[in-house]
Structure 1
Amino acid sequence: MSDTGILTVLTLATSVAIIALILLELRSALLMPPWTARDRDRVVNAFSIVLIGWFLAAAVSAWLGAYRAAPGEMPTIQYALFTPIIIGAWLIWRSPTIGMIIDAIPQQWLVGVQIFRILGGIFLVLYAMGKMPGVFAWPAGTGDLLVGVLAAVIAVAYARGLRVNSNLVMLWNILGLADLIIAVATGFASSPSAIQATAFDRPNELITMFPLALVPAFLVPLWILLHIASLTKLRRGAAIDKKPPHGVAMSHM
């Protein structure tokens, strides 16, 4: 199999696996009240349409070369990157239904599913093969490997210690978001476009081409939204913990 074929299989398989895991977890997490079977089906169906539609739109756009920019041209991939983040973050923060869904999903799952971030190690392989600039591959590849490995460790620690290890979840989320921000910044700086600032001798062309364009167009915004969901769940849990028990409140009335 060619290098492009291997990249295609890895990228598509990772994307499809994450979509499947999200839908399976939703179906499992919404089994308990107040969710009815009808509510659960409606949520799963809605998420199926959104996630699969988003993935297909990103894949087809990447296949058609919509994210490629020549030197001197403005990049276009930022629209695929930031639009779902803005919409998704707004829904997480403002939608009561999304809030209830986040409450139902275990924190350790929100963390553990990001073990798939180890896919970023492929950037280091491509750098070693002379196909990707080090200014992007080193921070993005090592950061993703670290965050992916720690995702499994932190998920297990939280499951065993719950709120005792909530600070670990917070720190891991900060690390994960920092990794993605650095990857996005170095990706823009090293890719051919009007804003390219480095790696002129070895421009980061692959990240704007199919299949790797799915990383910034689908996987990165999905990872960021999962981080936001995890942090939101931590905040909501802390707010609940600060509320006095009903009996205590009544005793002071």
Structure 2
Amino acid sequence: MWIIILAAGSGMLYSTTMVARNGLIAIGKSPRKANRLAVGVLGSLSAWLIISSSAAGWGLYKQSERGAIPWVAVSLTAALAVMLFFASIKPFGELAGVKVASGLITPQMYRVVGVVFLILFAVNELPPVLAISAGVGDLAIGVYAPIVAKKVASGESTGRLFNTLGLLDLLNVTIITYTLSPGPLTPFQSAPDASAMAVLPMSILTTVAVPLAATLHIKSIRAVRLGD
């Protein structure tokens, strides 16, 4: 499980970094400056991965042990807000066009990591409604990502639908995870519950991969719009 998640997470971070680098060069930034900014992207994402993993290792994401505050949801939301902010300001806010949009779709191929949801379902560590919807949804997005990226690069208008479906999949997983997690504010109880999503290694997906994937989807949609 650890190997699958770390391999997919590392691949997604590296792929995102290369997309940022190539996009910056495409809008006229020098390779040296693009490399420097790309290293900053990789460093920032890696730092958040380490911080979030440390928090999970210390048990800070276990809602039942930390009162009523859903720290996983807080971390996810904060990470998403920060990522969207930096994606919207210069120089990253200037990235536009179908080539950029296509590149931003490519890292989604690592969503095939969704197979871990099905593995946890098979060993009765996640509720069926979460494991099956998240597993199948992520696998579908991951498999089709390279295909859609190629079509978007050639000028086909399939990116908006793909990105919308990808965002809906992430939203669905987030809502189900929250509603089936233990804690005083969650409306439903299930056996098994979604507490596995708040501990390592699954917390890496919840607090790092989900906000990054959502940012890539939103930025890809915006890149096409800005390029029109």
**TM-score by shorter chain over 0.5:** yes
Of 200, 203, 211, which aligns to 1:221? 211
Q: Any residues of structure 2 matched to 1:1-253 within 5 Å, and which? A: 7-32=1-26, 34-70=28-64, 73-93=68-88, 95-102=89-96, 106-159=100-153, 161-162=154-155, 165-166=156-157, 168-238=158-228
Alignment deviations for residues 38-61 of structure 1 (CA, whole Å, 9 cap, x no partner): 422331232132111111111111
- Contact kept, 8 Å, 2:19 with 2:104, in 1: the verdict is no
- Structure 2 CA distance for partners of 1:92 and 1:44, relative to 1, 3 Å: closer
Structure 2 portions without partners, runs of 5+: none
Which has the higher mean CA deviation after the structures are superposed, 36-45 or 123-132?
36-45
Distance, in Å, in 2 between the alignment partners of 1:45 and 1:74 is 34
Q: Taking structure 2 as the reference length, what is the TM-score of the superposition?
A: 0.90
Number of equivalent positions: 227
The aligned counterpart of 1:242 is none
Distance, in Å, in 2 between the alignment partners of 1:27 and 1:151 is 20
- Contact kept, 8 Å, 1:65 with 1:210, in 2: the verdict is no
Task: Name the aligned partner's letter for residue 124 of structure 1.
Answer: L
Alignment deviations for residues 31-83 of structure 1 (CA, whole Å, 9 cap, x no partner): 45621244223312321321111111111111221111218743211121001
Distance, in Å, in 1 between the alignment partners of 2:23 and 2:86 is 19
Which has the higher mean CA deviation after the structures are superposed, 71-80 or 45-54?
71-80
Computed over aligned residues only, the root mean square deviation of the Cα atoms, in angstroms, reads 2.1
**Deviation of 1:158 (Å):** 2.0
**Deviation of 1:104 (Å):** 9.5
- Structure 2 CA distance for partners of 1:134 and 1:96, relative to 1, 3 Å: same
Q: Taking structure 1 as the reference length, what is the TM-score of the superposition?
A: 0.82
